[in-house]
Structure 1
Amino acid sequence: MISLFTGAGDNAVSCSVMLEILRALSHSDHKLRHGIIFLFNGAEENVLQASHGFITQHPWASTIKAFVNLDSAGAGGWEIVFQTGPEHPWLVRAYAEAAHYPFASVLGQELFQAGIIPSDTDFRIFRDFGKIPGLDIAHVANGYVYHTLNDKTDYIPEGCIQRAGENIMNLLKELASNPKLADPGLDKHGAMVFFDFVGYFMIHYPQRIGNILNCVVVGFAFLSVYMKISKRQSQVASSLQHIKYIIGAMMVIFGSWMVTFVAVIIFGLLLSFAGYSLFWYTNTYNILTVYIMPGLIIVLSIHDSIKEKYLKQFEPWYIESVFFDASLLIWSLFVIILTYLGVGSAALIMFWVFGPVILREAAFQVFEKSIYECHIS
């Protein structure tokens, strides 16, 4: 017998949140500048028929200026904003200002829109057929119960529903009171870089500003490596030798990544042949034992063997410095390539470069003399 609560995550949670927001707004004294339509779609799994029928045939469709789509690819967890726009950067700012517990990432947007995740939502229908901008929000935790008979209320804590309700209620109030909904002006064009800081606040800025910031940080990274090549390493190796060591370290890093990738793929195939193809998916923490730990062991083993075989003559601090610079250059190259390709999530790698560059330079300024004095003595 099928439980009446099957389908709790997809998508009874969103329906319950919408109903409660509808009830709360109907009893609220809060004045809204614009009206809100609550659309409960059926036939969503059957090629998104209901949303297509509404946006192409309903008389209210022409009145809609923006939308918020609620969906699920799991049960419970923190609802994530994983698509925005297209363009209309004011929508991202509205979410950032309204949500008390923000959870959003431009990386999720770019992965989803690249087709890497084999899924679809009503967002595409409203965007492509209605030419309307919006926000796509979904729960993604406990994905292994998605579209199964185990999608029940047991996996959805009350706090999850409360947080989603507060975030979406505040977002709808902000959108329905925002003058940009009727006329976004210049905010109708342009892409945004956006991501939250562990759910406390949002970092967001125009992608054109992000491109400049990326180039500046990469420039500092290359300058930092150049300064060390020309000045700091001269007592251990010549500049030319040091460049060769850095290139060699970059090859080692790339090689260890490739070996790890192949090994993890082989391990995954073995699990599939043994009948455990979704073992990693039954619990998020299984990813640690199935992929992350084996990957770390392989990388560390390769680096340790290279050190023992080829780098015994160098002090540990020098080896660390060479591999640090090599890693910094690799990630900087990734930032340059992704920025050139117009990928907004290059900002996440940029911050990965920015932190070490700033902290490392500060450390070198403080400890540089003592390090070289110890080496000379």
Structure 2
Amino acid sequence: MSMLFTPYSLGSLALSNRIAIAPMCQYSAVDGLPTDWHMIHLGSLALSGAALLILEATAVVPEGRISPDDLGLWSDAHMKALEPVVAAIRRHSPIKLAVQLAHAGRKASSEVPWEGGANIPPGQPRGWQTEAPSAVPHAEGETVPLALDAAGLTRVKEAFVAAARRADALGLDAIELHGAHGYLLHQFLSPLANRRDDAYGGSLENRMRFPLEVFAAVRAAVPGMTVGMRISATDWVEGGWDLEQSVRFAHELKALGCDFIHVSTGGVSPLQQIPLGPGYQVDFAARIKADTGLPTIGVGLITEARQAEEILQQGQADVIGLARAMLYDPRWPWHAAAELGDQVVAPPQYWRSQPREHKALFGATRLGQR
């Protein structure tokens, strides 16, 4: 058995293999409510053979959406609208389900990518006033966000908690807090975005304070769930957030009962210089895993089965996160299992698709695992 297809646990959440489908925004909701697209999209990924499916960045407040078409979980109506999607997946797939709870901060109120992704100013159709740690725009000429005051910090923290409770009520298996890619929690961490002079700005201890408060509040609100965080391990900008600070932050998360850390990079500044290449973020995951012992999800241009297997064999990550590679090939785990001589779970309706040379590809004995 390859390591990629061995079981693993994130906290109390038992996974049948080491493949996770990372959150991928679909920009296809209406007022934060899921549409038919979510049923089709998530249903397809749920049949992939991966062990974990993490729903896209899901806003905890309307103003926290990246775009007007983002998914949300800021009301019970949003929870109810997701129930049929979750129920359909549960009926036909053993995959575990998580949600990424998010607030976009100063990067909110943006157009969808296929319409250019530009910032939409308040007062314009589809636009609104953004909020952030400091009144510093993401890029020159974009909306200047309102700096969150004490009441605003409490409001945002309570929104994360309320959304987490709805995720629990939905019967989801895990929660990932979005502290990466230049969104609100990352903005607090990075000195490039956080210019505060109160207890939430300045020193590393102060900049970590609000993200840690949010994590602790969510952890306390859903004690039976697996809860982790996604971070950007570096801003790729001199003077910004970096790996050493990320290691310190990960230690603090672990002390609060964090079950896993999902490691990517960048997103807080248009000045970033990212050296793209296969597995370009894996070394950051490896360092955090080695220094903290936290279960770690590695992600970033991981596209080949043997590449994923090597990352695990070398101890650089515990779980492999796939995003665009999974969109391109929604049966990536099937093909990886065939290449590595292993087995993967598939619905019985698809069993007859096994190639002759891979007659044992679909492991019937693993069907029904939850």
Taking structure 1 as the reference length, the TM-score comes to: 0.23
Flag the structure with more relative contact order, 1 or 2, with Cα contacts below 8 A and sequence separation at least 6.
Answer: 1
Higher share of residues assigned strand: 2
Higher share of residues assigned helix: 1
